[in-house]
């Protein structure tokens, strides 16, 4: 085998120009696939982080039957928000944080006009345990809800604009920094409370900009007469890759009166975007590898045509046809290994540099600046190298078979 490998390396180096062109095609193809994958993975990670780490949490717990009617923003059934339930949840392996929330509907007014709103009540003391990036969507100049806040609120940017509302720290003549929230309890009792605007939130979802007001949980419980109750619990996990397993553990620990949903189930839009991105990347990768393989087929066919007499001599002196076949396949493997290794090295280096420096872009949720950091999954790098080598060998299969089938006498007669 070592003799044939040396022959294969020598034959690849014999026509340096053609081999260099093929190696360059393999190298650039693998590099392009890795860089494209790295940027795509970085983009998807940024999207998931914004959603999971800044909005939904990795998991959410609701009372049984709640999610089926979630669009109506029901206040019942609800959950107890007490130390006993929180302790049961945090005792589940893989859970790193939990926070209670209330989602409700009502009317918001600035004293002159009013409109409907969706209230999102969070526990400022625990929210960052469940969503570490809580407040990432607050515009510059405002502030995030903090522990101890009660009659404060964050208002969607478009809703605030229509009400001429600004954060308290930015109030000027003709603008307001306080609004009134009105809502009804589960039993129909109406109530209203004044809150100070502490910040404006910006989202890529127009609905959130136009309708959502975020308030402290205790204020919402007072407004709705739901002291000690919440409609959902947001849960953080140590490893997003284990989210399904943690969800199963929570279901087993909590019983049938609770529902546990993963962020993919709660945000099917984001899940579908990720799937579409992965499909597009797969198509691009296939196209690039087809181009690579076409170049290898051309190289190997030209090598066969140029070496007809050499192949005839080898067959005439007793070299077996399968050995000729193996030699050409080894030549292709050498091209695949060298080109693939070069592509992996260059691609990983480019992604590493881009990941370290970051690519400036607008934040998906706020429109503000953020750094996209490309990243590579080691198994994908290994798969790309393996596909380059295996593809090179498969691409050379027909030319190699053609070479091994030559008639020695006819091959020696060729000029």
Query: What's the confidence (pLDDT) of residue 308?
Result: 67
Mean pLDDT for 58-83 is 87
Mapped onto helix, strand or coil, the DSSP state of residue 350 is helix
How far is Cα 391 from Cα 9, in angstroms, rounded to an integer?
18
Half-sphere exposure of 249 (CA within 13 A, CB side): 16
Mean pLDDT score across all residues of the chain? 83
| pLDDT at residue 79, rounded to an integer | 92
4-63 confidence digits (pLDDT tens): 677 667 766 777 777 787 788 888 888 988 998 888 888 878 777 777 888 888 999 999
Which of the pair, 312 or 212, is modelled with greater confidence? 212
CB atoms within 10 A of CB 6: 11
Query: Could you tell me which residues come within 8 angstroms of residue 305 by beta carbon, excluding any fewer than 6 positions away?
Result: none
Bigger pLDDT: 154 vs 365: 154
pLDDT, tens digit (0-9, with 9 covering 90-100), for 248-304: 999 999 999 999 999 888 776 767 777 787 788 788 778 877 777 777 777 666 766
pLDDT (tens digit, 9 = 90+) per residue, 236-248?
Answer: 999 888 999 999 9
User: If residue 230 lies in a helix (H) or strand (E), which one and from where to where?
Assistant: strand 229-230
Q: Which pLDDT score is estimated for 259?
A: 93
How, if at all, do strands 114-122 and 212-216 pair?
A: parallel
Q: What pTM does this model have?
A: 0.71
C-alpha gyration radius of the chain: 32
End-to-end, the C-alpha distance of the chain in Å comes to 30
- Measured distance CA(405)–CA(415) in Å, rounded: 18
For residues 372 and 55, the answer to whether their CB atoms sit within 8 Å is no
Helix (H, G, I), strand (E, B), or coil: what is residue 112? coil
pLDDT of residue 358: 79
Q: SS3 sequence, 7-75?
A: HHHHHHHHCHHHHHHHHHHHHHHHHHHHHHHHHHHHHHHHHHHHHHHHHHCCEEEEECCCHHHHHHCCC
Short-list 155, 156, 149, CA closest to 123: 149
């Amino acid at each position: 085998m070592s003799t044939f490998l040396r022959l294969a390396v020598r034959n690849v180096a014999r026509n340096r120009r053609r081999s260099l062109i093929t190696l360059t095609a393999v190298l650039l193809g693998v590099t392009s696939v890795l860089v494209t994958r790295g940027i795509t993975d970085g983009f998807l990670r940024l999207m998931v982080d914004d959603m999971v780490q800044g909005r939904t949490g990795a998991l959410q717990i609701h009372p049984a039957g709640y999610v089926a009617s979630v669009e109506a923003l029901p206040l019942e059934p609800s959950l107890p928000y007490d130390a006993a339930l929180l302790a049961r949840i945090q005792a589940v392996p893989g859970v790193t944080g939990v926070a209670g929330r209330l989602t409700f509907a009502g009317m918001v007014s600035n004293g002159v006009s009013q409109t409907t709103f969706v209230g999102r009540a969070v526990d400022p003391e625990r929210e960052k345990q469940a969503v570490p990036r809580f407040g990432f969507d607050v515009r510059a100049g405002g502030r995030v809800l903090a522990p101890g806040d009660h009659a404060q609120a964050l208002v969607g940017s478009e809703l605030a604009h229509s009400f001429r509302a600004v954060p308290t720290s930015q109030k000027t003549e003709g603008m307001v920094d306080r609004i009134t929230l009105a809502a009804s309890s589960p039993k129909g009792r109406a109530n209203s409370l004044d809150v100070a605007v502490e910040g404006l939130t910006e989202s890529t979802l127009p609905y959130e900009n136009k309708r959502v007001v975020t308030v402290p949980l205790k204020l919402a419980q007072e407004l709705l007469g739901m002291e000690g109750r919440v409609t959902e619990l947001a849960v953080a996990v140590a490893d997003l890759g284990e989210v399904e397993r943690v969800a199963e553990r929570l279901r087993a620990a909590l019983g049938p009166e609770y529902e546990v949903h993963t962020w993919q189930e709660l945000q099917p839009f984001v899940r579908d975007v990720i799937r579409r991105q992965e499909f597009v990347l797969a198509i691009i990768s296939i196209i690039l590898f087809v181009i690579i393989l076409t170049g290898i087929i051309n190289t190997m066919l030209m090598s066969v045509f140029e070496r007809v007499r050499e192949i005839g001599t080898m067959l005439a002196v007793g070299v077996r046809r399968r050995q000729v076949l193996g030699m050409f396949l080894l030549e292709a493997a050498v091209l695949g290994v060298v080109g693939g290794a070069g592509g992996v090295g260059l691609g990983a280096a480019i992604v590493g540099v881009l990941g370290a420096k970051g690519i400036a872009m607008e934040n998906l949720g706020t429109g503000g600046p953020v750094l996209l950091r490309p990243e590579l999954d080691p198994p994908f790098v290994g798969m790309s190298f393996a596909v380059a080598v295996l593809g090179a060998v498969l691409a050379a299969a027909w030319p190699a078979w053609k070479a091994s089938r030559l008639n020695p006498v006819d091959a020696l007669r060729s000029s």
